[in-house]
Structure 1
């Protein structure tokens, strides 16, 4: 654990120095290809940094904040787009805006305003989940799938809560919400665009969807261009997820998670195209909120169990997450007792 913490410090010092270079050097280069060339070495470094960890937690978080968020934001910054434009007033803001999904509002809600009961309930649920791993052999595949899903969701919630507090203290800013009651989604477009992992669509929309749709309009009609933009965003998301899965499992990609996003990209694009016609009006039952929610959530759950979770289960990554959580708890207890 001590070695991983030292690696964590080294990695984030390297990241801070690299982002400072972008702030002081790259920002002075005219937007366009030359600024992009100056930033590409930093992007390449951010692709390598998650490999410095053996811990699943550190690899996953570093990959998410640097390989995904920071790299996409820096590429947008090269063309005077994205959340780094206009240039933040100081280096600390530039670093935080680069690495974290920050929502620069004037009067953000303090993290302390979040219901203590809600947070306490989540902590209790997480503790129960960890204990359930001891009875893993007695649980059905469906129950295990729910267990794994909740585990990943709650760990991300706790990590983002810590970042949220630090960002609020240092900058007085809030984080973009992670999700918005995804179980209430009435369509795939609603689920992926407005309810689940909202910080990712906020990056993919200007970085992939908009430019691809704009280029496609030159050779296609508007519906085909829209389809191309949606599909391209899902394809890129699948490729990045495949990379993150490699960081945390250290196994060669199988393509399953990419196919998961390709499937959802095709279905979402088709859904958008169908909505633009009068076909939906012929089946009023399908447009019922209750029915559409069941169909949407059911489709996400079934396809996740088919394509998204198998690589994680085969690599025993979820169990490693649980073991690391126990080790972290023991490490903190030992340090507190020693102190």
Structure 2
């Protein structure tokens, strides 16, 4: 890693720490509502520009995901005394607990009834196996990307995206559990087993982001919509609003990574899925759940639709700008560094 990048990361760490101290000791003392929101506006601004200080595509993506998106959304809720940072939610929060809850992609475990709780996974994936799987898949892509069909490469990209997000969230949860002992929800719930788009986006994929979007966008939009279209149909415009915001946040995240003018394909991907989820909800409501496709049929259709639309709209902006090559190169350098250190350690132990 270049010296300038290390300096930039140090600056980001110091800036985030100072901002969270300010939020905990000053903004928290201001009455909730507009005044607290105004007091947090410099933090929102700083967290929004932090990724621009980084030249690494991977680091820019991580910083924008952690702070520009999730931290800003959590602090937006905090301004109105809602969400995971609120004193009324979860256990009493020390400065350290407040900081890790604000800065890391984690969420407190929710209570589930025994009838709905899935105690075992179909696939025995955990942080260790996912990290190993990521390393193996990355090596295969680096070695064979130029000699296989582009569609197979994008299938591998789907796997890398799933594993990378799961590893980031699972690693954050592991550290927090070890240091603080908080019970945290898993990063995802086997999204490849989804039987519908509603299940994929709402209950299985990237649960930390799902929860943040539900609290900041879906719930307020549903409350507003209920006064216009009634309680029965209020969820449909709320779903669309949630996917639009998700699309815009992804567009911003990929701008930080690509530094190219947005093509809006990323936004269109999420708007399309939002429309499909809304239609799915409306059809289920019209049929009153009297008829459903077998999961043997709906499962492959759901995953196939997600993968096919990602081929069409999600990955092309990254491939077109060459960011996929840059990201793979950065991961490859990191892996070579780790392997050299392990080899050196093994040689020293042998001697």
TM-score norm. by structure 1 comes to 0.89
Name which of structure 1's ranges 314-323 and 249-258 shifts more when overlaid on structure 2: 314-323
Aligned to 1:111: none
Deviates more, 1:175-184 or 1:39-48: 175-184
Aligned to 1:265: 274
Residue 291 of structure 1, CA deviation:
1.1
1:210 aligns with 2:219: yes
Residue of structure 1 in register with 2:99 after alignment: 95
Structure 1 residue 249 displacement after superposition: 1.1
1:52 aligns with 2:53: yes
Q: How does 1:1-339 map to 2 (within 5 A)?
A: 1-3=1-3, 4-86=5-87, 88-104=92-108, 119-120=128-129, 122-123=131-132, 126-278=135-287, 281=290, 284=291, 287-332=293-338
- In 2, Cα distance between the equivalents of 1:227 and 1:137? 43
Unaligned runs of 5+ in 2: 111-123
Question: Which 10-residue stretch deviates more, 81-90 or 62-71?
Answer: 81-90
Instruction: Tell me how far 1:158 sits from its aligned partner.
Output: 3.2
What is the alpha-carbon distance in structure 1 between the residues aligned to residue 247 and residue 325 of structure 2? 23
When normalised by structure 2's length, the TM-score is: 0.86
In structure 1, how many angstroms separate the alpha carbons of the residues matched to 2:127 and 2:12?
Answer: 33
Distance 2:335 2:23 in 1: 37
RMSD: 2.6
State the shift of 1:177 in Å: 1.7
Moved more, 327-336 or 191-200: 327-336
Aligned in 2, Cα 1:117/1:269: closer, same or farther, shift over 3 Å?
Answer: closer
Contact kept, 8 Å, 1:60 with 1:244, in 2: the verdict is yes
Conserved? CA contact 2:134–2:164, under 8 Å? no
| Counterpart-to-counterpart distance in 2, 1:137 and 1:105 | 43
Match of 1:109 in 2: none
Cα offsets for 1:297-319 (capped at 9, x unmatched): 11111111111111111122222
Partners of 2:176 and 2:312 lie apart in 1 by 37
SS of residue matched to 2:64: helix
**Residues paired across the two proteins, number:** 330
CA contact (8 A) 2:106 2:172 kept: no
Q: Any conservation in 2 of the 1:101–1:176 contact (CA below 8 Å)?
A: no
1:102, distance to aligned residue in structure 2 (A): 2.9
